[in-house]
Amino acid sequence: MDIDQKRLTDTFLPKVELTGRVGYMDTRINYTSPEFGIPRVPPLFPGMMVPSQNNTLGISGFSGASKLQASVVLYSGGKVGHLKKALNEKKLSQQELLSSSKNEVITSIAKIYDQFALVHQSKKVLDESKKRLEINRKTAEKALGYGLITPYDFKKIELAQVTLDTKMIEYEGKRELLITQLHILTGMDKERIAEIEPDLQVLNYVVEDKSIENRPEIKALNHGIAAAEYKIKAEKTWWIPKVQLSTSLSYFGLYGDHIQTSND
């Protein structure tokens, strides 16, 4: 886009063009001169008749030509101005789309970090459950030894242990997945993310502006429409006269030339 902007600016810069060519010319011209008479002028000239003649004129030699031309645009009919505005609107549209993409990334990071905090909090619950289960196991072992519970009741403790182990495996898998996602989105090292101990807090916020007009997508669309309108205006300037100054200097020469006629 910066290149397009520079091209528009260069429209009003003077342009100088130098061209040249070298060639060899060999030309033959056949011509016939009609018979004509020269009137007498007494007593100075008695008059005479010049007979008809056929002749061939030959010209050969190396030819060289060069041309220097300079021009400058003084007024483009408003086309360049409209195109500059169109480029500016297009640039603003792309900036808004970039802002929208950044907002999407920030939102994704916030959601994943929130899940990471919840998973971290669930680890505390699992650790607490593990402690209680260990206490219950010891109590159940004593009760089984005294015959206070049946082996079936003791199996419930073992089932609870298997369930807890399964939840611990699920926790490790979710935690590793969330760490990987945060690493991809933020570029932070996984080791550094793993050391984070997030604290869950309630966040209260008030949406002051509920209008969609301030959304980056809407702004980008509006700038895109404005860019298209300026392009249309630029195309409509075709009938407006343009002002341009132009001057040129040309040179033509024949070198090593040889001119002869059939009568020479």
The reported pLDDT for the residue numbered 128 is 92
The reported pLDDT for the residue numbered 205 is 64
Q: Which run of H or of E encompasses 121?
A: helix 79-145
What is the pTM (predicted TM-score) of this model? 0.53
Alpha carbon separation from 133 to 130, 144, 152 (Å, rounded): 5, 16, 17
The reported pLDDT for the residue numbered 172 is 92
Tell me whether residue 29 is in a domain: yes
**Which of helix, strand or coil describes residue 208?**
coil
Could you list the pLDDT tens digit for every one of the 264 residues in the chain? 555 777 877 888 889 898 988 887 777 777 677 777 777 777 777 777 767 777 777 777 788 889 999 998 888 888 888 888 888 888 888 888 888 888 888 889 989 988 999 998 898 889 999 999 899 888 888 888 888 888 888 888 889 889 999 999 999 999 999 999 999 988 899 999 998 888 777 766 666 666 777 788 888 888 889 989 988 988 888 888 888 888 988 887 777 666 666 655
Give the count of domains, the chain. Answer: 1
Residue 63 makes CB contacts below 8 A (sequence gap 6+) with 22, 23, 24, 25, 252, 253, 254, 255
Tell me whether residue 152 is in a domain: no
Contact 186, 109 (CB under 8 A): yes
Tell me whether residue 247 is in a domain: yes
Tell me whether residue 64 is in a domain: yes
Environment class of 129 (CB within 10 Å of its CB; exposed 0-12, middle 13-18, buried 19+): middle
Tell me whether residue 201 is in a domain: no
Tell me whether residue 23 is in a domain: yes
Residue at token pair 């994704």: 108
pLDDT (tens digit per residue) in 209-242: 667 777 888 888 888 899 899 889 888 888 888 8
Environment class of 160 (CB within 10 Å of its CB; exposed 0-12, middle 13-18, buried 19+): middle
The reported pLDDT for the residue numbered 206 is 63
CA 251 to CA 21: how far, in whole Å?
11
Tell me whether residue 177 is in a domain: no
Domain coverage including residue 258: 13-76+242-264
Alpha carbon separation from 10 to 5, 13, 74, 244 (Å, rounded): 9, 5, 12, 14
Residue 59 makes CB contacts below 8 A (sequence gap 6+) with 25, 26, 27, 29, 254, 257, 258, 259
The reported pLDDT for the residue numbered 168 is 92
The reported pLDDT for the residue numbered 94 is 86
**Torsion on CA atoms 232, 233, 234, 236, rounded to nearest 10:** 90
